[in-house]
């Protein structure tokens, strides 16, 4: 059985998918993802703020370092495609990413106010490179269009020993932060699901 678990394709697929974070911009009314293109052109002129917001989404979605915007190749590509392009620093893009995060968090909080129940799954794991232990909390809910949605709402360092009381405290803190403690339906450990 142990050998099967090590080579099981379905288990490997599940583990890979658990690590993916869907960070497409959300539609504030339904919470659903927008996959459509949003132009950074406004009356034929480049809107640098929209462009920076798009880059912040791209960096977050693909886990690129913020310093990628300072690389020569990135700026050459941007200048070739958009002659009006002005370089931005990693500090600026990092600030933009935090603004995007706060905006998305507010949109999700507003959506949570409209749903009846939110269920949570947790997953505990250790990073391979740094040997740091984390807990991710994912909210599962049915949106206004009756579509099942899931969003990562917390990603927290959980130092050993990882005891039930410590995990419960993290979950309770997360529920309060997202203002959903009165909407909780179920909590499960994703490795058991």
What is the per-residue pLDDT for 5?
Answer: 65
Cα separation, 25 vs 54, in Å, equals 9
Cα separation, 97 vs 83, in Å, equals 24
Cα separation, 61 vs 190, in Å, equals 22
Q: What is the mean pLDDT of the chain?
A: 81
17-43: pLDDT as tens digits: 444 444 445 454 444 444 445 677 677
Identify whether the C-beta of residue 174 lies closer than 8 Å to the C-beta of residue 166. Answer: no
Block residue for tokens 């020993």? 161
Domain boundaries along the sequence of the chain = 41-106, 115-193
Q: Read off the pLDDT of each residue in 8-22 and give the average, rounded to a whole number.
A: 53
110-149: pLDDT as tens digits: 999 999 999 999 988 777 777 788 889 999 999 889 999 9
> Which residue, 51, 21, 6, 56, is CA-closest to 151?
21
């Amino acid at each position: 059985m142990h050998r099967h678990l090590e080579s099981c394709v379905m288990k490997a697929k599940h583990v890979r998918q658990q690590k993916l974070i869907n960070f497409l911009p959300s539609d504030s009314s339904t919470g659903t993802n927008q996959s459509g293109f949003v132009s950074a052109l406004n009356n034929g002129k480049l809107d640098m703020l929209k462009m920076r917001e798009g880059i912040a989404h791209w960096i977050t979605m693909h886990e690129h370092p913020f310093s990628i915007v300072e690389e020569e190749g990135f700026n050459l590509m941007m200048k070739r495609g958009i002659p009006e392009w002005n370089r931005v620093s990693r500090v600026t893009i990092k600030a933009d990413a935090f603004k995007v995060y706060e905006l998305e968090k507010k949109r999700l909080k507003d959506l949570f106010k409209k749903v009846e129940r939110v269920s949570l799954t947790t997953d505990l794991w250790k990073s391979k490179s740094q040997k740091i232990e984390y807990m991710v909390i994912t909210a599962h809910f049915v949106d206004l269009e009756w579509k099942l949605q899931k969003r990562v709402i917390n990603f927290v360092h959980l130092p050993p020993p990882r005891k039930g009381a410590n995990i419960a405290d993290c979950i309770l803190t997360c529920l309060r932060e997202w203002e959903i403690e009165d909407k909780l339906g179920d909590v499960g450990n994703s490795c058991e699901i």
